[in-house]
Structure 1
Amino acid sequence: MSTGVIIVLIVIVAVVVIGAAVLLNLRGRMSFGGGRDLKKRFGPEYERTVARHDGDAQAAERELAERVERHGGLKEQPLEPAVREQYATRWAAAQERFVDSPREALTEADRLLAELAGSRGFPDGEQYEEQLAALSVHHADHVHGYRRVHRLAHARVTADGDGRADTEEMRQALIEARALFEDLAETKQLQRS
């Protein structure tokens, strides 16, 4: 073989290898949803994650893609009608309790959301961060309400009252968390029927 043919073969092999590497890179990004797809899938959760990474969209996208890889295949378990009704009754009781005992109502709502998510097949409530990550993959638009309720329910209250959330903040958190409750308890579908 002549030197020219060898050079042409080397160039062709190099182009093929580089092309394959580029395709694998693009395919990997697409399997994780890519930036635009992640932004669409996660909505406000995407923006919160970017903010938590100090504006580093690539770091946020890596985290969100990892969540999708870990929890994207999770299949939510259906609720039996009697179980759904029990959860709905407990949620209504927590909301009613809010008037007299806002902190206790918030604590009950936090516990109830953790239990309900566990009943639907999400990681156990004892693993809050893991449960929240899984919920963010499947209920990204409503997971922030649970995050707020959990934070406020577990806020340490000092003797002078520092760290104590005001009643309005707790009320807003409970209202925001209700959307996740309705999604998990499938009560919106029932109301439309």
Structure 2
Amino acid sequence: MSTGVIIALIVIVAAVALVAAALTLRARRPQGGHSLQRRFGPEYDRAVARHDGDAKAAERDLTERVKRHGSLRETPLEPAARQQYEARWAAVQERFVDSPRDAVTEADRLIGELAGARGFPDGGRHEEQVEALSVHHARHVQGYRRVHSAVHAGSDTAAAENGSGTEELREALVEARALFEDLMTSDHKHTHRKDTVQRGADTGTQQTERAADDPEPAAPGSRGHAPWTFNRRHAKGS
């Protein structure tokens, strides 16, 4: 083998080693701004606003959240527990008609308990719980913040009972319901998707997999997934 060929091989090996080292360092590096934006969505914008527009500070904050809570694995719910949570949420919605503030208070308590049951920090550590939820359910966690803030805002009874107060509570509860549903179904979505992929492989079709990724809207009255058509006309004082 000529000297030129040997030198060429050495150069190639060195180049490959450098590329491998660069890729390894990149994989270990904290997520960049675009990755964080995709992961956190509106939560990214909220973090930037909290840091007075300083995107770098917000990204450091979000990166730390991922480091602290990114490895969390959500605990599946037992069927009996799932039914109890569904029944309690249905009661919250019914209670809102006569007592909006009490209903929102119960929703705040219920989501905190459900999050704890799924393996997130318990409701007694609310800020830590919300921080962990923002890593795994970033697009829906703001509704939980809103109901919690409404419960602990200390607004007087008159403000709570007037039209604007009731409407704000209704909007908070509607937004919080998205997180409730996400916590109730996240493990089911994962399991269902794996099952449909397997069935598609067995039958040679991917129709069931597409159904899992793009489900049809649930029919009114189906348990746990019926759309909440509640509107401002249903609540007293609105």
Q: TM range, normalised to the smaller chain?
A: 0.7 to 0.9
State percent identity of aligned pairs. 63
Q: Give the residue type in structure 2 aligned to 1:180.
A: L
Q: TM-score, normalised by structure 2?
A: 0.65
SS at match of 1:137: helix
What is the aligned-residue RMSD (CA, Å)?
Answer: 2.6
| Structure 2 stretches lacking a partner, 5+ long | 1-17, 193-211, 217-238
* Contact 2:159 2:165 (C-alpha < 8 Å) held by counterparts: no
* Contact 1:38 1:46 (C-alpha < 8 Å) held by counterparts: yes
SS at match of 1:166: helix
| Structure 1 stretches lacking a partner, 5+ long | 1-18
Match of 1:157 among 147, 155, 160: 155
* Shift in Å, 1:84: 0.5
Which structure ranks higher in relative contact order (CA pairs < 8 Å, sequence separation ≥ 6)? 1
1:67-106 equivalent positions in 2, closer than 5 A: 67-106=65-104
User: What is the number of equivalent residue pairs in this alignment?
Assistant: 169
* Shift in Å, 1:157: 2.3
SS at match of 1:110: helix
SS at match of 1:83: helix
* Shift in Å, 1:155: 1.1
Confirm or deny that 1:176 pairs with 2:175.
Answer: yes
* Contact 1:148 1:173 (C-alpha < 8 Å) held by counterparts: yes
Once the two structures are superposed, residues 30-57 of structure 1 have per-residue CA deviations (whole angstroms, 9 ceiling, x without a partner) of 6422110000000000001100100000
SS at match of 2:167: helix
Partner of 2:105: 107
* Contact 1:106 1:153 (C-alpha < 8 Å) held by counterparts: yes
Q: Distance in 2 between matches of 1:134 and 1:113?
A: 14
Once the two structures are superposed, residues 119-163 of structure 1 have per-residue CA deviations (whole angstroms, 9 ceiling, x without a partner) of 00000100000000000000000000001011001111247749x
* Shift in Å, 1:111: 0.1
Q: Distance in 1 between matches of 2:50 and 2:98?
A: 35
Q: TM-score, normalised by structure 1?
A: 0.80
Q: Give the residue type in structure 2 aligned to 1:79.
A: L
Q: Distance in 2 between matches of 1:62 and 1:141?
A: 19
